[in-house]
């Protein structure tokens, strides 16, 4: 049986670790594994055979030993065991065999040999089981395979369920086959992949070594299922809209540009699905949502990845009040689902950084201008007095540009002085219209929009509003955005004539929300970098 040792520096060589000796040692280990692969082929064995056939999940096999599947381990009083059946696996004594046949497969994660006996531990997902390979049961040719196995190989084993003499659940093998030869050594099984660059660039290595990394991937699936369940129960219809847009719209962001050869036109990877989703509402679908990737040509940071997952939902005959209630329901549902799945602790209380966040109860709603007034120490803010707002920005060292209006100045004050300090869940409401081009004006103040953002732990998780439904007002807002773009604002929206035509067909009163799925997962898992919750984050090219 091959030496399973895989020094950490060698296992991380694919990620360019420090140390000149690492690549050389890695080449030696790969060469050793290739020799074993050649030996397999010399004996007529395919190191990469096709799959198929009956297979038992390792988790189900282990559960049999705990009596968790197929009834009780002990027969009812006076009952006779089934003909030909041995003891139930849960009732086996050390060294006893049940005679129950199984076939399992998984990655080889540990080996030990004792002459004519070898023990192989295989992992299927997070579940592990021991395979006992015996010369007298496998025969000389079958047992010889164990000499050419390395940790990281994928193998299958057929045999019977038994307990080893040490009492461990075991598959006593009648046959062991290799189903996928690993030519590179796996990461160190005790320490995993420690170098962050390798973890992000070669996530498969991180997943192979770390149960925590695999749990992160499962957590995303559980979270998405919970979000869908909440929306489905509220009679929302899941839809799909285009990823390639002729005009970048629905958010203030710089798009990625691509080119369609057949049409001879430039297209844009979507920065938001909003305008298409609202066109579906125009068409008579009263409650729609989409969960999908969006793309924004922005910098990399702990909070930003150029492609990320967004949930957007729209409801006819609703306003931003209903959307705030929906937002709260979605997040609380997701938090509970992850806790029930054992993927996080604390129920509706989550730990982020050094402090806890309580997600229970109803979350407060605070007007943006009130929060800014408190932060700068004035009684109230007046959006009609740009000069005063500029003075406040200067006094608090908030940089501004001459082309910005009063609403943009108020937003800058809020984002610099208020947002980072909002820890408990808070709906910040009633944003300036100037920075809310798709939101309905507030009936009590035409300078404000019925818009909200949810802030938790100093971070924006959702953006939503009572949608603007007046096509003439929307055209004026688009034209204002176009002027801002012409003046140098690369993130301003262009005029979307197709969307305006849809609005002229009639958009009913509508509420909408956008929820950043990656940021929500970061919050609920207590991760401070988006790279920890995205399987394959965008990274700078090497060199």
Q: Model confidence over 16-56: pLDDT tens digits?
A: 444 445 688 889 999 999 999 999 999 999 999 999 889 99
Round the CA-based radius of gyration of the chain to a whole number and report it. Answer: 30
Total of domains in the chain = 2
Sign of the Cα torsion 413, 362, 312, 470 reads negative
First-to-last C-alpha distance (Å) of the chain = 40
Helix, strand, or coil (residue 315):
strand
The pLDDT value given to residue 165: 93
Report the candidate in 297, 303, 435 with the shortest Cα–Cα distance to residue 372: 435
Domain assignment of residue 406, yes or no: no
DSSP string, 496-533: -HHHHHHHHHH--SEEEEEEEHHHHHHHHHT-SSGGGT
Q: Which of 159, 183, 205 is the last residue of a domain?
A: 205
Distance CA 362, CA 320 (A): 15
- The verdict on 129 and 217 lying in the same domain is no
Domain assignment of residue 375, yes or no: no
Distance CA 203, CA 196 (A): 10
- The verdict on 143 and 219 lying in the same domain is no
Domain assignment of residue 27, yes or no: yes
DSSP string, 170-191: EEEEEEEEEEE---SPPPPTTT
Distance CA 454, CA 425 (A): 7
Distance CA 216, CA 201 (A): 16
The pLDDT value given to residue 198: 82
- The verdict on 199 and 244 lying in the same domain is no
Domain assignment of residue 412, yes or no: no
Report the candidate in 99, 93, 71, 83 with the shortest Cα–Cα distance to residue 171: 99
- The verdict on 191 and 272 lying in the same domain is no
The pLDDT value given to residue 189: 66
- The verdict on 287 and 184 lying in the same domain is no
Q: Which of 180, 205, 230 is the last residue of a domain?
A: 205
- The verdict on 219 and 194 lying in the same domain is no
- The verdict on 250 and 157 lying in the same domain is no
Domain assignment of residue 346, yes or no: yes
Residue 526 structural domain: 211-364+424-532
Distance CA 119, CA 114 (A): 8
Helix, strand, or coil (residue 257):
strand
Residue 296 is classified by DSSP as -
Query: pTM for this one?
Result: 0.89
User: What is the domain-level CATH number for residue 480?
Assistant: 3.30.930.10
Domain assignment of residue 380, yes or no: no
What does the block give as tokens for 124?
A: 């299927």
- The verdict on 273 and 171 lying in the same domain is no
Helix, strand, or coil (residue 273):
coil
User: What is the domain-level CATH number for residue 102?
Assistant: 2.40.50.140
Domain assignment of residue 191, yes or no: yes
Phi, psi dihedrals of residue 512, rounded to the nearest 5°: -140, 155
- The verdict on 469 and 334 lying in the same domain is yes
What does the block give as tokens for 366?
A: 């605070």
Distance CA 343, CA 335 (A): 10
| Residues 120-134 as b or e (16 or more Cβ within 10 Å = b) | bbbbbeebbbbbbbb
Tens-of-pLDDT digits for all 543 residues of the chain?
A: 655 444 444 545 444 444 445 688 889 999 999 999 999 999 999 999 999 889 999 999 999 998 887 654 444 444 444 445 688 999 999 999 999 999 999 999 999 987 899 999 999 999 999 999 999 999 999 999 999 999 999 999 999 999 999 999 999 999 999 999 999 998 876 566 778 788 888 888 889 888 999 999 999 999 999 999 999 999 999 999 999 999 998 888 899 999 999 999 999 999 999 999 999 999 999 999 999 999 999 888 888 899 999 999 999 999 999 999 999 999 999 999 999 999 998 889 998 888 999 999 999 999 999 999 999 999 999 999 999 999 999 999 999 999 999 999 999 999 999 999 999 999 999 999 999 999 999 999 999 999 999 999 999 999 999 999 999 999 999 999 899 888 888 888 889 999 999 999 999 999 999 999 999 999 999 999 999 999 999 888 876
- The verdict on 198 and 236 lying in the same domain is no
- The verdict on 506 and 357 lying in the same domain is yes
* Contact assessment for residue 117 and residue 131, using Cβ atoms and an 8 Å cutoff: no
Domain assignment of residue 276, yes or no: yes
The pLDDT value given to residue 190: 57
- The verdict on 349 and 280 lying in the same domain is yes
Q: Which of 205, 223, 245 is the last residue of a domain?
A: 205
CA angle 34, 109, 131 (to 5 degrees): 105
Q: What is the 3-state secondary structure (H, E, C) of 319-372?
A: CHHHHHHHHHHHHHHHHHHHHHCCCCCCCCEEEECCEEEECCCCCCEEEHHHHH
Enclosing H/E stretch for 448? strand 445-456
What does the block give as tokens for 534?
A: 């995205």
């Amino acid at each position: 049986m091959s030496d399973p040792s895989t020094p950490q520096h060698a296992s991380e060589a694919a990620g360019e670790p420090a140390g000149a000796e690492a690549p050389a040692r890695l080449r030696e280990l790969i060469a050793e594994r290739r020799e074993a692969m050649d030996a397999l082929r010399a004996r007529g064995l395919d190191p990469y055979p096709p799959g198929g056939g009956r297979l038992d999940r390792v988790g189900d096999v282990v559960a049999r030993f705990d009596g968790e599947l197929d009834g009780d381990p002990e027969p009812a009083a006076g009952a006779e065991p089934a003909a030909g059946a041995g003891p139930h696996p849960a009732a086996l004594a050390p060294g006893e065999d049940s005679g129950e046949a199984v076939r399992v497969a998984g990655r080889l994660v540990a080996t030990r040999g004792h002459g004519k006996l070898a023990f192989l531990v295989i992992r299927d997902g997070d579940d592990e089981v021991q395979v006992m390979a015996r010369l007298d049961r496998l025969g000389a040719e079958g047992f010889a395979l164990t000499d050419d196995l390395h940790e990281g190989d994928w193998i299958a084993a057929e045999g019977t369920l038994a307990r080893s003499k040490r009492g461990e659940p075991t598959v006593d093998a009648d046959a062991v086959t290799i189903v996928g030869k690993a030519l590179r050594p796996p990461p160190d099984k005790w320490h995993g992949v420690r170098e962050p660059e390798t973890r992000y660039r070669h996530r498969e290595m991180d997943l192979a070594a770390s149960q925590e990394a695999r749990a992160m991937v499962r957590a995303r699936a559980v979270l998405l299922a919970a979000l869908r369940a909440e929306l489905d129960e509220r009679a929302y219809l899941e839809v799909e809209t285009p990823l390639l847009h002729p005009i970048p719209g629905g958010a203030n962001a710089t798009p990625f540009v691509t080119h369609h050869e057949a049409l001879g036109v430039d297209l844009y990877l979507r920065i938001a699905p909003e305008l298409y989703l609202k066109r579906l509402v125009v068409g008579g679908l009263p409650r729609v949502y989409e969960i999908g990737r969006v793309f924004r040509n922005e910098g990399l940071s702990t909070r930003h990845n150029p492609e990320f997952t967004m949930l957007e939902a729209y409801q006819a005959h609703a306003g931003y009040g209903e959307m705030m209630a929906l937002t709260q329901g979605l997040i609380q549902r997701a938090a509970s689902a992850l806790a029930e799945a054992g993927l996080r602790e604390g129920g509706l209380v989550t730990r982020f950084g050094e402090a806890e966040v309580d997600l229970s109860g109803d979350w407060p709603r605070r007007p943006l201008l009130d929060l800014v007034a408190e932060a700068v120490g004035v009684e109230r803010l007046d959006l009609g007095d740009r000069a005063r707002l500029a003075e406040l920005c200067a006094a608090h060292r908030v940089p501004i540009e001459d082309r910005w209006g009063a609403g943009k100045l108020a937003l800058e004050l809020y984002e610099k002085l208020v947002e980072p300090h909002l820890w408990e869940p808070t709906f910040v409401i009633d944003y300036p219209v100037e920075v809310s081009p798709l939101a309905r004006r507030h009936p009590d103040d035409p300078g404000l929009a019925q818009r909200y953002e949810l802030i938790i732990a100093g971070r924006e998780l959702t953006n939503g509003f009572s949608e603007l439904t007046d096509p003439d007002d929307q055209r004026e807002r688009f034209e204002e955005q176009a002027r801002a773009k012409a003046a140098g604002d690369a993130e301003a929206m262009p005029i979307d004539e197709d969307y305006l035509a849809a609005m002229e067909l009639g958009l009913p009163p509508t509420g909408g929300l956008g929820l950043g799925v990656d940021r929500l997962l970061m919050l609920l898992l207590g991760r401070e970098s988006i790279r920890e919750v995205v399987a394959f984050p965008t990274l700078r090219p090497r060199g």
